[in-house]
Amino acid sequence: MPANLRQKIWSFALIVLFFGGWEVFCLASGMSDLILPRPSQVFETLYNRFPVLWPHIIRTISTTLGGFALGVALGVVLGALIGVSRVAYDTAYPLLIGFSSIPKVAVVPIFVLWFGSGEVPAILTSIAICFFPIVVNIATGLATTEPELEDVLKVWGASKFDILWNVGLPRTMPFFFASLKVAITYAFVGTVLAETVASNRGIGNVMMSASSNFDVPLVFVGLFILAGLGVLLYVVFSLVEGRVTGWATRKNDIAAA
Amino acid sequence: MQTLGQAAQPSVILADEPLRAIELSAATVTFGRGDKAVPALSETSLRIADGEFVALVGPSGCGKSTILRLVSGLVQPTRGVVIVGGREVAAKALRIGMAFQNPTLLPWLTIEQNVMLPLRIVQPFRARYRRERRTTFRDKAHALLGQVGLKGFASRYPWQLSGGMLQRANLCRALIHEPRMLLLDEPFGALDQFTREELWSILQDLWLAHKPTVLLVTHDLREAGFLAGRICVMSARPGRIIDDSPVDFARPRTIAMTFEPEFVTLNQRLRDLIVHTRSLPAEREN
């Protein structure tokens, strides 16, 4: 525990050091705040404009969570379908890789073309960007069940479903939660991406209009909010992960329970 | 195994003969097709009576494990017939327990839950699992864990146990559903000498208490001699049985017995057979 605490203190110190260094650098070099505003200016802007920013934050979060939820659902279904058989896994993999290699910025205009600007393309973009790690992790978790264990289960007369239910899915949980942490940040990126391209609301949109007004501190406010939200969502899923799949991390506090 | 009485066991019983748990007739297994075909087992015949403890020994890759997989129904014979519990294997005539060198316990379940896993899957336990998992089934698991010396470890997780303890739990898992047949594929191969000997005694006790038919694949000739009532020696790949001899030492056997001259002689003889078959070219008949 002390080691854990010390690490937390160091992490915090690093963050303080980062912003402190940035502040000092700006002051010392006399950098214009049109190019790089000081962190203190950014926080000040954040504080002053917060009432105006709040609806945008809500919009970005709701879009992200919506896209994330749908992306996870899609990812789980596809991952389970692909992971159940080795053949399906090998067959579908090239297509998935191809799809995941498409830069999602290139897809946003298509979504806008189909659905107009607004929330729908943002949700679709975040689905498109976040479902892939889920598919891969679920499929891999299912496909890598130890063959010996599968033999033992088959000899007991277990059906495919029995194996999936008792071994496959529980085994996949650590992979699944690891992928959730990645997917939530991806979903976030997808949302903001679509908001910057075609939307009238959301943090991405705020940043776009701020930069066209040369309101650089506000652009940085957007960045800070995004970073903060990203960390927040990551932490939430880490906590859930720790509760559900503690067995995979072999922490000593489970031993005591 | 009397408790199994209520589960009807349809089987062909030949008059005056002990029930044959396993019968391989000229079973041949070939993996792959055409040019790439690899013969794993050639025309092997083997009969094992109910309640017998048979060890299969032989050089590596001779098809010992293939016999286990044939008997368990995981592999179908390319030619020949495999009858288990009076039926062709595919029919799944009787309950089988299985244990490999790798204990494959599920890391997210406690030892107790791991041991009870077969009861969730195998009938008739499966139907009663919800009702009895906290009562009779748990008692059953605890009783077995007690027999192998894991009494205080029921609520631990697998990673908290040593290799030897995991293998004991694995044996419990293989036995909890009262299988009539136990298939063991080098279950103690990864353990140190002393743990292994300890587990031989535990396995012997379990067998004496439950009397399932056991087919044990092993590399360790002392292990085979200590545990088995009969040892079958296999030739190099493609395997066939070249020697089949009873082991008559009185039970329960002790580790000390394995150092007595008679036992050493048996050991020596098996060793010579295997060394000899290893040195032969695979294709040639012995």
Smallest CA–CA distance, residue A246 to chain B, in Å, is 8
Look at residue A58 in the predicted model and tell me its pLDDT: 92
Mean pLDDT of A20-31: 90
Look at residue A249 in the predicted model and tell me its pLDDT: 62
Question: Could you say which residues from 167 to 206 on chain B have a Cβ atom under 8 Å away from some Cβ of chain A?
Answer: 177, 183
pLDDT per residue as tens digits for the range B117-168: 888 888 777 777 777 777 888 888 888 888 888 888 888 888 888 888 898 8
- Say if B72 is an interface residue toward chain A (CB within 8 Å): yes
Q: For chain B, how many residues are written?
A: 286
Smallest CA–CA distance, residue A243 to chain B, in Å, is 12
The structure tokens 């079958």 sit at: B232
Domain coordinates in residue numbering, chain B: 52-72+98-279
- Say if B118 is an interface residue toward chain A (CB within 8 Å): yes
What confidence category does residue B2 fall into, taking pLDDT thresholds of 50, 70 and 90? very low
Counting the structural domains of chain A, the total is 1
Q: What is the mean pLDDT of chain B?
A: 81
Percent of chain A with pLDDT over 70: 95
According to the CATH classification, is domain B52-72+98-279 in 3.40.50.300?
yes
Nearest to B106 among A156, A167, A250 (CB): A167
What confidence category does residue B179 fall into, taking pLDDT thresholds of 50, 70 and 90? confident
Q: Are strands B79-84 and B20-31 parallel, antiparallel or unpaired?
A: antiparallel
Q: Determine, for residues B183 and A158 on separate chains, whether the beta-carbon distance falls below 8 Å.
A: no
Rounded alpha-carbon distances, angstroms, from residue B277 to A77, B215, B233, B264:
53, 22, 10, 20
Q: Which two tokens stand for residue B82?
A: 């495999």
Look at residue B3 in the predicted model and tell me its pLDDT: 43
DSSP state of A72: H
For residue A96, give the CATH number of its domain: 1.10.3720.10
**Cross-sheet strand order for the sheet of B87-88:** B38-49, B20-31, B79-84, B87-88
Rounded-to-integer distance, Cα B281 and Cα B272, Å: 16
- A33 neighbors A216 (Cβ within 8 angstroms): yes
Mean pLDDT of B241-269: 86
pLDDT per residue as tens digits for the range A128-150: 888 888 988 888 888 777 788 88
Burial annotation A195-213 (CB, 10 A radius, 16+ → b, else e): bbbbbebbbbbbbbebeee
> Which structural domain range is residue A70 located in?
38-247
Q: Residue A189's closest CA among A99, A115, A125? A: A125
Sort residue A161 into left (φ over 0), alpha (ψ -120 to 50) or beta: alpha
Smallest CA–CA distance, residue A146 to chain B, in Å, is 8
Lowest-confidence segment of A4-13, A120-129, A147-156, B18-27 by average pLDDT = B18-27
Q: Is pLDDT at B38 greater than 50 in this prediction?
A: yes
Look at residue A15 in the predicted model and tell me its pLDDT: 92
Rounded-to-integer distance, Cα B271 and Cα B264, Å: 10
The structure tokens 């910025």 sit at: A105
Rounded-to-integer distance, Cα A59 and Cα A195, Å: 10
Amino acid at the residue B258? T
Rounded-to-integer distance, Cα A139 and Cα A85, Å: 9
A157 belongs to a structural domain: yes
Q: Which residue has better confidence, A180 or B279?
A: A180
Q: Which two tokens stand for residue B236?
A: 């190099």
Rounded alpha-carbon distances, angstroms, from residue B260 to B239, B247, B250, B257:
31, 14, 13, 5
Nearest to A162 among B74, B104, B121 (CB): B121
Three-state SS for A251? coil
pLDDT per residue as tens digits for the range A53-78: 999 999 999 999 999 999 999 998 88
* Count of C-beta atoms within a 10 Å radius of residue B38: 11
Question: Could you say which residues from 167 to 196 on chain A have a Cβ atom under 8 Å away from some Cβ of chain B?
Answer: 167, 170-171, 173
Q: Which two tokens stand for residue A72?
A: 């996870």
What confidence category does residue A31 fall into, taking pLDDT thresholds of 50, 70 and 90? confident
The distance in angstroms from the start CA to the end CA of chain B is 41
A216 belongs to a structural domain: yes
Q: Which residue has better confidence, B149 or B87?
A: B149
Q: Are strands B181-185 and B96-100 parallel, antiparallel or unpaired?
A: parallel
The interface predicted TM-score of the complex, written ipTM, equals: 0.77
Q: Which residue has better confidence, B148 or B16?
A: B148
DSSP state of A198: S
Q: Is pLDDT at A251 greater than 70 in this prediction?
A: no
Q: Is pLDDT at A190 greater than 50 in this prediction?
A: yes
Q: Is pLDDT at B6 greater than 80 in this prediction?
A: no
Q: Is pLDDT at A256 greater than 60 in this prediction?
A: no
Q: Is pLDDT at B264 greater than 60 in this prediction?
A: yes
Q: Which of A155, A245, A252, A253 is best to mutate for the B interface (most B CBs within 10 A)? A: A155
Burial class (CB in 10 A: 0-12, 13-18, 19+), B10: exposed
Q: Which residue has better confidence, A254 or B143?
A: B143
pLDDT per residue as tens digits for the range B210-236: 888 899 999 888 888 888 889 998 888
- Say if A162 is an interface residue toward chain B (CB within 8 Å): yes
Q: Biggest alpha carbon distance in chain B? A: 58
> How would you write chain B as a 3-class SS string?
CHHHHHCCCCCCCCCCCCCEEEEEEEEEEEECCHHHCEEEEEEEEEEEECCCEEEEECCCCCCHHHHHHHHHCCCCCCEEEEEECCEEHHHCCCCEEEEECCCCCCCCCCHHHHHCHHHHHCCCHHHHHHHHCCCHHHHHHHHHHHHCCCHHHCCCCHHHCCHHHHHHHHHHHHHCCCCCEEEEECCCCCCCHHHHHHHHHHHHHHHHHHCCEEEEECCCHHHHHHHCCEEEEECCCCECEEEEEECCCCCCCCCHHHHCHHHHHHHHHHHHHHHHHHHCCCCCCC
Look at residue B285 in the predicted model and tell me its pLDDT: 44
Look at residue A1 in the predicted model and tell me its pLDDT: 57
Q: Residue B116's closest CA among B94, B153, B142, B98? A: B142
Rounded-to-integer distance, Cα A152 and Cα B118, Å: 9
What confidence category does residue B92 fall into, taking pLDDT thresholds of 50, 70 and 90? low
- Say if B159 is an interface residue toward chain A (CB within 8 Å): yes
Q: How far is CA B42 from the centre of its chain?
A: 21
A21 belongs to a structural domain: no
Look at residue B89 in the predicted model and tell me its pLDDT: 59
- B273 neighbors B221 (Cβ within 8 angstroms): no
Phi, psi values for residue A118, rounded to 5°: 130, -150
pLDDT per residue as tens digits for the range A170-186: 888 888 888 888 888 88
Q: Is pLDDT at B55 greater than 70 in this prediction?
A: yes
- Say if A2 is an interface residue toward chain B (CB within 8 Å): no
